[in-house]
Amino acid sequence: MSPQVIIEGLLNGALIGLGAVGVTLTYSILGFANFAHGEFITFGAYAALAIAAVVSALVVGFGDGLGPLSIGPALILAALFAMALTAGLALALDRLLFTRLRGKSEAISMVMASFGASMAIRALIEFVFTSRPAYFSRDLQIARPLGFGLKATPNQLALLLVAGVLVVCVHLLLSRTQIGRAMRAVSENPPLARASGVDVEATIRFVWALGGALACASGVMLGLLVQIRPFMGFDLLLPLFAAAILGGIGSVPGAFAGAMVIGIGEALAVQLAGAEWRAAVAFVALIAVLLIRPGGIAGRKP
């Protein structure tokens, strides 16, 4: 087994983690498992792809990579725009679908509605972009030795850094700011939060926007590391849920830790059993956590 598993696992864990943070937040604050979250990832990646193509066509030189990276100003701009767009998609979906069901019916009908939305969004993406895989860049990147037998491409290192910064920011946002306190209050007890002057609806909108933006970041990362295709987010859904449950629903550091466990587990599975079995890792982790500690690593009793 080569130590390279660590790099692969960390990258994989980082992109699962960015998605899982959104899943765990919507789950704890809105009270349902959102099956359309995978499509936020896909939508984000395609949105960034389309915007990057436009920007690099309009501005000379923006499409070129920065230094050793294949990521250029065009893609950075596009990723930021796409994050806003994906946040908008999440808000629009909430407005169209979930607001109408909230409070009126059981949480499980929201799960079902999200399931229908997931299919509709994915099929529409496939309609526009077809199912042919797409790439942000065709540049070939050479992995450089890092010592200890590890190798990584400049892109991989940059993405790890960005993912780490994003997660620390989200953690600080939740633990140190007013909106973070409001989110935790709504998650604990919505009526009490409302009575204490928290704008519950605004908090819910903020959660959707944050979840969508992070899912987009995950999608761009996945697109840079592997490829962009309509099923990319849907295929990531089981790892997202497994990471969120493993970490304990509602816990951002927990979701990220869970994502790392699954990410490294998948990298190990690819080495030991072959790439085709990778998707089984999340399922095994899910079953194990449900058997042993259904509340998750950091969570309370479900």
Residues that bind another protein (CB under 8 A): 27, 32-33, 35, 97, 100-101, 105-109, 111-113, 115-124, 126-127, 130-131, 234, 237-238, 241-242, 245, 276-277, 279-280, 282-283, 286-287, 290-291, 294, 302
Q: Give me the long-range contacts of 178-187 (CB less than 8 A, separation at least 24).
A: 179/203, 179/206, 183/25, 183/29, 183/207, 186/29, 187/28, 187/29, 187/250
C-alpha dihedral sign at 256, 262, 264, 270:
negative
Shorter beta-carbon distance to another protein: residue 100 or 144:
100
The CB-of-281 to another protein minimum distance in angstroms stands at 10
C-alpha 70/C-alpha 139 separation (Å) is 7
Find, among 38, 47, 130, the residue nearest to 86 by Cα.
47
Q: How far lies 248's CA from each of 27, 125, 151, 189, 253, in Å? A: 11, 32, 33, 18, 9
Shorter beta-carbon distance to another protein: residue 135 or 283:
283
The CB-of-244 to another protein minimum distance in angstroms stands at 9
The CB-of-241 to another protein minimum distance in angstroms stands at 5
Shorter beta-carbon distance to another protein: residue 8 or 39:
39
The CB-of-246 to another protein minimum distance in angstroms stands at 12
Find, among 93, 88, 7, the residue nearest to 44 by Cα.
88
- Are the C-beta atoms of residues 87 and 210 closer than 8 Å to each other? yes
The CB-of-261 to another protein minimum distance in angstroms stands at 16
The CB-of-45 to another protein minimum distance in angstroms stands at 17
Shorter beta-carbon distance to another protein: residue 68 or 294:
294
Q: Give the containing element (helix H, strand E) for 255.
A: helix 252-272
C-alpha 238/C-alpha 241 separation (Å) is 5
Q: Give the containing element (helix H, strand E) for 56.
A: helix 37-58
Shorter beta-carbon distance to another protein: residue 198 or 238:
238
- Please tell me the total number of residues recorded for the chain in this structure: 302
Question: What's the one-letter identity of residue 70?
Answer: S
The CB-of-111 to another protein minimum distance in angstroms stands at 6
Shorter beta-carbon distance to another protein: residue 111 or 150:
111
Shorter beta-carbon distance to another protein: residue 25 or 52:
25
Question: What's the one-letter identity of residue 242?
Answer: A
